[in-house]
Structure 1
Amino acid sequence: MKDRGLVFRVGAAIARRRKARGLTQAQIAEMIGVEKETISRMENGVISPTLPRLQQIADIFGCSPVELLHTETGETAAHAQYIGEIIQELSENERILIVGFVTEVVRLLKTREPTTSE
């Protein structure tokens, strides 16, 4: 199947967000009315969630279904997700301040001389 990679990426996104929230597969399963095995199979890319299920899962994680379909994977996505989760309880002004701070730090780091670790 041509879209198998997407199924794996969606499963990985579900697992990553579930773990970041400190939830078990059984808890997610109970919240959306399926068996724990169904969540396991989704996370492992064995089955693809239906669109209504994807919406239910996205609602639990406080994101859109599109965010679960996003193809970016790896450490950068995990870091971005972590930062998003730790600042979500802040006020909007505080979040804007944090994003501005991170933006400025990244800008400064990009302009510095590269160092060699060899």
Structure 2
Amino acid sequence: MDEIERAALVKAVGKAIAAKRGENGLSQENVAEILGISREAVSRMETGVAIPSVVRLAELAEIFGCAIEELLTEASNRKLDQAKHITELLADLNQEKRDLLLSVIKQLISGFSQK
């Protein structure tokens, strides 16, 4: 993984952390207090300035009530991780809406493939 890919991954993980925090109605101050760190440290993780350790990711997942992999999968550029994320997004839709989305996705892929 080169430096550009690494930076993009760290930023994406930070965005996932911020999104999960928001989904849970928590402020950076709330998360910082639970973790025993400064609000600035939380901000640095969310903006991709600081890389959270595996232990810190586990703590964040516990706070947000999610699996550690959720913080990583949404940020990953690996095809399998992206496919899993799409599967999770489709899970709550009825069959008709999933079929419609699959049709749109097929059209988009076809359009991208032609260029």
Q: TM-score range by the shorter chain?
A: 0.5 to 0.7
Q: CA RMSD in A?
A: 3.1
The unaligned stretches of length 5 or more in structure 2 are: 78-84, 108-115
- Name which of 30, 34, 42 aligns with 1:31: 34
Which residue identity is paired with 1:47?
A
Q: Which residue of 1 aligns with 2:16?
A: 13
Stretches of 4+ moved more than 4 A in 1? 108-111
Which residue identity is paired with 1:45?
G
1:47 lines up with 2:50 in the alignment: yes
The unaligned stretches of length 5 or more in structure 1 are: 84-97
Task: Tell me the number of residue pairs that the alignment of Structure 1 and Structure 2 aligns.
Answer: 93
In percent, how many aligned pairs have the same letter?
38
SS in 2 for 1:22: coil
SS in 2 for 1:47: coil
Is the contact between residue 9 and residue 76 of structure 2 (CA under 8 Å) also seen in structure 1?
A: no
Q: Offset at 1:108?
A: 5.7
TM-score by length of 1: 0.64
Q: Which residue of 2 aligns with 1:92?
A: none
SS in 2 for 1:34: coil
The structure richer in helix per residue is 2
